[in-house]
Structure 1
């Protein structure tokens, strides 16, 4: 297997279980799509969205762009895929980084989620009081 042992995405990539493929990334429908057309865009190389960028900070120079490792591999492919397929529908693009942010697989991936009026999808964002507001009476 290529990638990290035990990573479901690395295992899936190793089995070539995807329907779109590029040099640096693959794309496939998630096991539980939240809307019709929901896709995952996944880096071929195993990157952790939380730890990998910090390993590269020591080499950063002023003026350089800084992205979580792998985002520069995936985002242009997703954008090009939408353009080539003439996809113009509204969508959410979500990167979860860490369990508290709803990440369930520690391998960098972007969720492309098409949106339609009345699709019923409620994103897990709710208004929460700031620490200052929480201490007010």
Structure 2
């Protein structure tokens, strides 16, 4: 018997609390378009799957998954695995390879690479949100 992770007690529990938070804090309104930042890690994929599952009282919204590859490792294999996962689950997505990591760690920016890396990644995510017509952004 093959049980989907969406049929587990843990998933249903998380979904219940996510739905409660969305309603209590009015995080999503009817017609919103949400950009979901997806790193490929367990937290962001769980958020993606939770927001994709039907919720009874949450207003209707659409979403797009977005991944920004920072360019630290050109042989990074997880990028392809993440893209395959998004395709297999019929998620609408944008995946973008950048050189932000190398730029942030370059000679001219030795003092604070994490700040620049984070700032440039966030800036790119906001630009994609605007291009895609997203009015909300969700991170796990």
Q: Which interval holds the TM-score relative to the shorter structure?
A: under 0.3
Q: Which has the higher helix share?
A: 2
What is the TM-score of this pair, normalised by structure 2? 0.26
* Higher RCO (CA-CA < 8 Å; seq separation 6+): 2
